[in-house]
Homo-oligomer: A and B are copies of this chain.
């Protein structure tokens, strides 16, 4: 469902949250679809049910999920607004794969590439402001 990295320093609940958000954006989870139950998801990704519940609740507050007591957890209809069109997401993924190939060849670690991306993201933001 979502792959976690227990040693990245990023809290697992944030990784799960981002992972679910991303799967919705990429259209892998579609509006109306049900997510694994809190307990099942907890088993799948190997965390405590409370941690999953916290994530689901946060995503509910954000309007992406709908938690129904006694029924389960579902992607809301309004989440559709967040789904990226294939023509938006595909070029991004293509470029990302190129970046990854180059970074690997240069001996960079994922964390370092992440930091680079972050630094450039903020430069870019600061320039445009």
Contact = CB atoms under 8 A, between A and B. Distances in A.
A18 interface: yes
A95 B102 contact: yes
Given A9-B10, A9-B14, A96 B93 contact: no
A59 to B, nearest CB: 13
Contacts of A118: 5, 110, 114
Interface string A49-77: 00000000000000000000010000000
Contacts of A5: 118
Interface of A: 3, 5, 8-11, 14-15, 18-19, 21-22, 25-26, 48, 70, 82, 84, 88-89, 91-93, 95-108, 110-122, 124
